[in-house]
Amino acid sequence: MQDLLYFSQQLINGLTIGSTYALIAIGYTMVYGIIGMINFAHGEIYMIGAYTALIAITGLATLGIAWLPLVLIVALICAMIVSSSMGWAVERVAYRPVRGRHRLIPLISAIGMSIFLQNYVHLAQGSRNVGFPALIDGSFRFGSSEGFQLSLSYMQITIFITTLVCMTALSLFISRSRIGRACRAVSQDLGMANLLGIDTNRIISATFVIGAALAAVAGLLLGMYYGSVDPLFGFIAGLKAFTAAVLGGIGSIPGAMLGGLILGVAESMTSGYLSGEYKDVVAFGLLILILLFKPTGLLGKPEVEKI
């Protein structure tokens, strides 16, 4: 009985982390789906989202505003605005001018951007770990056995629900709205979409903005859940999210969700049953295996090499 409870607890831990990976992975998967490049700086945009949210929360606290829903909404909106602007600016500055060149060139440009943003925040905000206030505290408890109690914290529930809402909204947006339709058209064939009168530059910008906004949501959630932020934590999270995107099949939005959850659970099971030291090895090992044996991922479409 206790083993089962332990397993369930680790599963909950994994699913929580996994759903935030999924939110970040959307940014990778959409960008890759449309222009076929890896947006290396996406992890940094997530980190900036977390910082902005923390700045907003601290600012409100200084002003004496403590009504929780208001604080959360203001922090969320601020983070989304700043991250989206960042996403837009990054695309404009670093990616648009090199679009269509040799594959390696946008990638190197993206790595440069990632290093730049990391150090931008590092210089502006210092390299210390900054504590993130625990706004949502407390938990549901159930099923106790031999002193072990399964607990599901309110924060974890918040993360699940927010992720679910964001994913549903995104799916509806992509399938129903005009811009969503244009997005799909552009990812099918950029040149053709252009000929049909779609402003492809605008659509590509929109992709970056949407991805960045979701990363900001993840930044706020994870900041509150973990408890601190530092300028370096975006990079590793970005890599993990990218792994999730590849795992699920890059370019596919349900794939990103699935990949995120699988990765999160794999990590938490590794820490739970083996040792936390090896969880990154498992994540990267999974990435390598998937790329070697099924480069299209779980839900991805096979890509035809055009000559």
Q: What's the DSSP call for residue 90?
A: H
Nearer to other proteins, 89 or 165 (CB): 89
Q: What angle do CA 231, 271, 277 make, to 5 degrees?
A: 60
- Measured from the CB atom, the residue of 5 and 185 that comes closer to other proteins is 5
249 binds other proteins (CB under 8 A): no
Closer residue to other proteins (CB): 129 or 168: 129
Q: Is there binding between residue 235 and other proteins (CB under 8 A)?
A: yes
Residue count, binding to other proteins (CB under 8 A): 103
68 forms part of the interface with other proteins (CB under 8 A): no
Q: Interface residues for other proteins in 1-60 (CB under 8 A)?
A: 2, 6, 9-10, 13-14, 16-17, 37-38, 48, 51-52, 54-56, 58-59
Contact status: 100 vs other proteins (CB under 8 A): no
User: Which CB sits closer to other proteins, 250 or 257?
Assistant: 250
Instruction: Report the alpha-carbon distance of residue 45 to residue 39 in Å, rounded.
Output: 10
* Cα–Cα distance measured from residue 96 to residue 90, given in angstroms and rounded to the nearest whole number: 9
Q: What residues contact 86, with CB distance under 8 A and at least 6 apart?
A: 45, 48, 117, 212
Closest distance of CB 208 from other proteins, Å:
12
Q: Which stretch binds other proteins (CB under 8 A): 158-166, 175-183, 195-203, 219-227?
A: 219-227
d(Cα 134, Cα 139) in Å, to the nearest integer? 13
**CA-angle at 188, arms to 181 and 27, nearest 5°:** 70
* Integer CA distances (angstroms), 16 to 4, 91, 104, 167, 291, in order: 18, 30, 34, 15, 25
Neighbours of 199 (CB within 10 A): 13
For residue 97, give the DSSP letter: G
- Shortest reach from residue 85's CB to other proteins, in Å: 4
Q: Which of residues 263-282 bind other proteins (CB under 8 A)?
A: 267-268, 271-272, 275-281
Does 120 participate in binding other proteins (rule CB under 8 A)? yes
CB of 110 to other proteins, least distance (A): 9
Q: Where are the beta strands (DSSP E) in the chain?
A: 130-131, 139-145, 148-153, 228-229
- What distance in Å separates the CA atoms of residue 154 and residue 160, rounded to the nearest whole number? 10
At position 148, the amino acid (one-letter code) is F
- Applying CB under 8 A, among 74, 179, 181, 230 the residue interacting with other proteins is 230
Q: Among residues 71, 72, 94, 183, which is the contact residue for other proteins, using CB under 8 A?
A: 94
Does position 82 interact with other proteins (CB under 8 A)? The reply is: yes
User: In a 3-state reduction of DSSP, which class is residue 245?
Assistant: helix
User: Nearer to other proteins by C-beta: 21 or 167?
Assistant: 21
Per CB under 8 A, the list member of 74, 88, 174, 294 interacting with other proteins is 88
Please report whether residue 163 would count as binding other proteins according to CB under 8 A.
no
Nearer to other proteins, 14 or 171 (CB): 14
Q: Which of residues 125-144 bind other proteins (CB under 8 A)?
A: 125-134, 137, 139, 141
Element (H, E) at 59: helix 42-63
